[in-house]
Structure 1
Amino acid sequence: MRYRLIADGGALLDEGDGSAEMAGGALVVTPERGAVLRVAPGDVVEVQEPQPYVVQLLLADGARLELSRLGVMRTQLLAELSEARVADTEQVLLLDGVGTAEAFPGWVDGTPAELRLYDDALVIVPAAGLAEKLPYPFIQAVTTDSTGYTIGLSVPGRPPIAVGRLARRTSEFLDLLRARTAAAAGRTSHFLAALLPGLGPVALRSVAALLRDGLAAPRDALEAVEPGVFPALLEAACRPERVAGARKLLGLGQVWLGFKQTSSVQRAGSGAGPWRDPARPPVLDHDAHAGSFAPGLPGMFAAGMVSGFGGPFEGPFDTYGPGLAFGLLGLGAMGGGGYENGPHLPRQVFPHQPVTPAHTDYAALTDPADPDDPAVLAFLLCLTPSGRLVYEVLNAPDHATYVFTCRDTDQAAQLNRALDLLGFRVEGISADADSAASQYRKAAQRLPALRVLRERFQGRAIHTEGWEAQLAGLVD
């Protein structure tokens, strides 16, 4: 293998023969003589092939690394680098979402990219350019062109996004995007229903539309649905030690209330084989050797009766429905633990399958296993007359109050969106991002949302006895 390392300005830094491999989660170039070059996959912002059999990597600091004469290892190296680059980019730039992502290779706005669908957001990692996170509440519309193979995503604040070249997975991606968007909205509705058990379905629908996952709703808009909605939500979501602070914020200015799911409540299925409703035994091939029913027309008729076309054997009879159907069809009387004297003995009349289907654990939204680690973060935003936006978490025990400069409600919405793009992980806002030892340095340089929050950050008020004095010093 031959390599060339070129500086941002075009000067040749080094070249020679050596070896290249993915090792320890990084691309490692080992020259025959000289220092080893280690490239973190997240530092690769673009992969190009300017000439046949030449791979060029554009790095985050502007340098370029050219690799040639890779031979048969070229395809494997590029595949491993691509996979590692997606995962590392998400981690370094704080872009990963909630739950487990389903990955789709495709093209976005004319560039190859990997699209990753999480429980709460779509993350796009292109082969060239900046990665992007789109929380589902920000996707206003999903459309397809006349061919059905190009998908359009309408997102406020940027041109429409064109997703294509998903090939046979186009329908799968579209269906899963819509399903996960709907599921996120459904979880919000279930969560709010648990907090507001006395609210009617129409009013609950209006509240859920205002309180989409991660988006704060104005106090007056919630109270316009019903006057008691805002105080009820605040009381239900607030830890006892946060009540006094929340009341203080209510008197400082315009207030928004929001909720953000921060951990997955989707539970994978378990057991050997796919789950089936035990009330409906599977209808198998009616071949005499492979099926559970007699061959020919009698077997087909029996299968139809048991699988749901048995008229009176549906509904309230549960598993007895198939049993009665077998009896009337001459497959034996129910008794003695089996069916006797029938023309074909069923293999399994009452199938016992110790299988749990994949499901949503709605109870975990309001009753987490660890009360100090809630699945849904509740927060207040308060815009003061002095031009400060206060961000206060209501249900986490160890969380400071963050204060940002903010001119108006438009900037408040911008800061709300920036927090959502970070998954409300605020550690990088106040942490050191200048030194080479900072884990947030790359994100602060390359992630616009974090950069905006850091630029407008004024300070934190720690929840101690002097909290009110600290807050007053930041907002006055």
Structure 2
Amino acid sequence: MRFRLIADGGALLDEGDGTAEMAGGALVVTPASGAVLRVAPADIVEIDEPQPYTVGLALSDGARLELSRLGVMRTQLLAELAEARVADTERVLLLDGVGTPEAFPGAADGSPAELRLYDDALVIVPTGGLADKIPYAFVRGVTTDASGYTLGLDIAGRPPVAIGRLARRTGEFSELLRTRVGAASGRTAHFLAALLPGLGPVALRSVAALLRDGLAAARTDLEAVEPTVFPALLDAACRPGTAAGARHLLTLGTTWLGFKQTASVQREGSGASPWRDSARPPVLDHDGRAGSFAAGLPGMFAAGMMSAGPTLGHGFDGPFAAYGPALAYGMLGTTGGLQSTQAAGPHLPRAVFPHERVTPASTDHDALTDAETPAVLAFLLCLTPGGHLVYEVLNAPGHDTYVFTCRDTDQAAQLNRALDLLGFRVEGISSDTSSAGSRYRKAAQRLPALRILRERFAGRVVHTDGWAERLATLTAGS
């Protein structure tokens, strides 16, 4: 193999013979003599072929690496590099979604890209340019052109996106996209129905339209549907010890309440065809135990299979038809006035028979009931008269109060959207990213959503004695 390393500006830094391989999750170029070059896949912003049999890599620092004379290793190296680049880009730029994605090779707005459909969002990683994330809550519609091979995504707050070059997988992608967009909306409706059992279907539809996954709804809008909706949801969302702080925020300005699914609790089956065994009883929990069920919420979940059938959806959809508020409160990590459920016992492995070709789908009950890492994040936003937006998590322990400068409701919506694009992972907002040792440095430089949040970050307040006084000081003026 021969390589050329060219600096930003065109100066030749190094060239010569050597070897190139994927090692330790990175592209490693080892010259015949001289220093080794290690390139993290996320640092590759574009892959092209400037000349026949030459691979060109544009790097995030402006440099360029060209590899030639790769021989039969060229195809394998490109495949490994492309796969690693997608995964590393999502991880470094905080773009990955909930659950395990379905990947499709295609194009977005005419640029070749890998299209990844998560439970909650479409992530687009192009071969050149910045990666993009489109939460399903922002998708207002999906259309198909006359050819049937190009899809148009109508997205709130931004220009539409054209998806194409899917060839024979166009129908598969289109169906899965529509299914997951619809499922995201359905999960919200099922989840809210469990928390608001006294609400009628028309009113519930209105509340679900306001409280799309990750998007906060104004207190006034929720109370306009039904005056008791907002206080009922707030009571359900608060962990013990957070209710007083939430009530204090209600006195500071305009408030919004939101919910965001943060974990997929459905574990997909694997194999060429669904697993069936006519010799086994039709009513079983997912661990393969018949006639008895674990204690508490997991046992209730399994026992309910007798009357409600298997759980087919992700996150917080189907189970609520059978389990109602208990499951919803369990996913929030709160009790909501219900008695705490007992933890599930150890999962017993089901015997594997030689004729079984697949692993059946299962539900991770612990993901539903683990109060330390709730599957649904509940949060409150408060816009103060002094020009600040307060972001408060209601059901996760040890979460500080974050404050951002914010002029009006339009900027509040922009900050809410930025938090959603980050998956509400706030660690990089207040971190020092000036050091080469910062894990958030690259995301802060290249991810617009994180950059907006960092630019408007005013401070954070730890939940200790004097929290309200320190918050008042921080939000006193613009």
Whether TM exceeds 0.5 here: the answer is yes
TM alignment of 1:139-158, pairs within 5 A: 139-158=139-158
SS in 1 for 2:86: helix
Q: Tell me by how many angstroms 1:270 deviates.
A: 7.6
Secondary structure of residue in 2 paired with 1:241: coil
**1:434 Cα deviation after fit:** 0.8
1:208-266 CA distances to partner (integer Å, 9 max, x unpaired)? 00000000000110001000000000011111201111111101000000000000122
Structure 1's 271 and 105: CA in aligned 2 closer, same or farther, altered over 3 A? Answer: closer
Indicate how the Cα distance of structure 1 residues 172 and 17 shifts in structure 2: closer, same or farther if over 3 A, else same.
same
Which structure 2 residues correspond to residues 70-219 of structure 1 after superposition, within 5 A? 70-219=70-219
- Distance verdict in 2 for CA 1:181–1:361, change over 3 Å: closer
Deviations 1:40-93 (A, max 9, x none): 000000001111111110000010001111111111100000000000000000
Question: 1:240 is paired with a residue of what secondary structure?
Answer: coil
**Distance verdict in 2 for CA 1:69–1:124, change over 3 Å:** same
**Residue identity opposite 1:266 in structure 2:** Q
Aligned twin of 1:246: 246
* 2:329 matched residue in structure 1: 366
Change (3 A) 1:365 1:53: farther
Q: Which residue number in structure 1 is paired with residue 443 of structure 2?
A: 443
Cα contact 2:263–2:315 (8 A) shared by 1 = no
Distance in 1 (CA, whole Å) between partners of 2:403 and 2:14 is: 47
Provide, for residues 320-363 of structure 1, a one-character-per-residue CA deviation record: whole Å limited to 9, x for no partner.
xxxxxxxxxxxxxxxxxxxxxxxxxxxxxxxxxxx978554645
Alpha-carbon distance, 1:159 to partner: 2.4
**Partner SS for 2:241:** helix
Deviations for 1:393-434, whole angstroms, at most 9, x for unmatched residues?
011111000000000000000000000000000000011111
What is the distance in 2 between the residues matched to 1:360 and 1:73? 40
Is the alpha carbon distance of 1:146 and 1:457 closer, same or farther for their aligned partners in structure 2, counting shifts above 3 Å?
A: same
SS of the aligned residue for 1:140 comes to strand
Cα distance in 1 for residues equivalent to 2:80 and 2:192: 43
- Aligned counterparts of 1:358 and 1:384: Cα–Cα separation in 2: 42
Alpha-carbon distance in 2 for matches of 1:230, 1:142: 32
- Aligned AA for 1:466? G
Q: Is the 8 A contact 2:183 2:313 kept in 1?
A: no
Secondary structure at the counterpart of residue 259 of structure 1: strand
Corresponding residue for 1:64? 64
Q: 1:272, 1:30 → 2: CA distance?
A: 41
- Whether the aligned pair in 1 keeps the contact of 2:236 and 2:329 (CA below 8 Å) is no
TM-aligned CA deviation for residue 277 of structure 1: 11
Structure 1 counterpart of 2:381, which letter?
L
CA distance in 1, matches of 2:38, 2:257: 45
For 1:365 and 1:11, locate their aligned partners in 2 and report how far apart those are by CA, in whole Å. Answer: 60
CA offset at residue 274 of structure 1? 1.8
Would you say the 8 A contact 1:401–1:462 is kept in 2?
A: yes
- Describe how 1:30-69 pairs up with structure 2 within 5 A: 30-69=30-69
2:333 corresponds to: none
Q: Is the 8 A contact 2:7 2:63 kept in 1?
A: yes
**In structure 1, distance between residues paired with 2:181 and 2:404:** 30
Equivalent AA in structure 2 for residue 57 of structure 1 = L
Which residue in the other structure is 1:314 paired with? none
**1:459 & 1:127 partners in 2: Cα distance?**
37
Per the alignment, residue 360 of structure 2 pairs with none
- Paired position in structure 1 for 2:305: none
Q: Tell me the CA shift for residue 139 of structure 1.
A: 1.3
- CA-CA distance at 1:162 after TM superposition: 1.0
Please, which moves more after superposition, 211-220 or 181-190? 181-190
CA contact (8 A) 2:264 2:315 kept: no
Q: Alpha carbons of 1:275 and 1:33: their partners in 2 closer, same or farther (altered >3 Å)?
A: closer
Secondary structure in structure 1 of the residue aligned to 2:242: helix
Q: Is the 8 A contact 1:20 1:27 kept in 2?
A: yes
**Residue range with higher mean Cα deviation, 92-101 or 372-381:** 372-381
**Contact 2:25–2:40 under 8 Å retained in 1:** yes
Counterpart position of 2:405:
405
Give the secondary structure class of the aligned counterpart of 1:256.
strand
What is the CA distance between 1:156 and its match in structure 2?
A: 3.0
The question of whether the paired residues in 1 share the 8 Å contact of 2:3 and 2:15 is answered with yes
**Is contact 1:268–1:359 with CA below 8 Å preserved after alignment?**
no
The one-letter code matched in structure 2 to 1:81 is L
Quick one: structure 1 residues 227 and 358, their matched pair in 2 at CA, closer, same or farther if it must change by over 3 Å? Answer: closer
**Identity within the alignment, %:** 76
2:99–2:119 Cα contact (<8 Å) kept: yes
CA distance in 2, matches of 1:119, 1:75: 31
Deviation at 1:148, TM superposition (A): 0.6
* 1:403-442 pair list within 5 angstroms: 403-442=403-442
The change in CA–CA distance for 1:361 and 1:163 in structure 2 (over 3 A counts) is: closer
Change (3 A) 1:131 1:271: closer
Distance 1:365 1:41, change over 3 A: farther
Quote the residue 2:268 is aligned against. Answer: 268
Task: Tell me the SS of whatever aligns to 1:435.
Answer: coil
Q: 1:453 matched to which residue of 2?
A: 453
Runs of 5+ consecutive residues of structure 1 not aligned to the other structure: 280-317, 320-354
Whether the 8 Å contact between 2:107 and 2:113 is mirrored in structure 1 is yes
1:227 maps to which residue?
Answer: 227
Using the alignment, how far apart are the partners of 2:171 and 2:209 within structure 1? 27
Structure 1 CA distance for aligned equivalents of residues 274 and 113 of structure 2: 32
Q: Aligned residues, how many?
A: 404
Instruction: Return the alpha-carbon distance in structure 1 between the equivalents of residues 120 and 12 of structure 2.
Output: 44
Give CA-to-partner distance per residue, 1:366-402, whole Å, 9 cap, x none. 3132112111111010000100000000111110000
Q: Distance in 1 between matches of 2:374 and 2:155?
A: 29
| C-alpha distance in 2 between matches for 1:164 and 1:153 | 11
Say whether the 8 Å CA contact 1:275–1:357 is kept in structure 2: no
Which amino acid counterpart does residue 99 of structure 2 have in structure 1?
Answer: G
1:267 CA drift (Å): 3.2
SS of the residue 2:438 aligns to: coil
Please state how far the C-alpha of 1:269 moved relative to its aligned partner.
3.7
**SS of aligned partner of 2:90:** helix
Q: Is the 8 A contact 1:265 1:365 kept in 2?
A: no
TM superposition shift of 1:132: 0.3
The whole-number CA distance in structure 2 between the counterparts of 1:403 and 1:171 is 44
Q: Please give the alpha-carbon distance, in whole angstroms, between the structure 2 residues aligned to 1:16 and 1:273.
A: 51
Q: Is the 8 A contact 1:274 1:357 kept in 2?
A: no
Aligned equivalents of 1:439, 1:191: Cα separation in 2: 35
* One-letter amino acid matched to 2:241: E
Shift of 1:469: 1.6
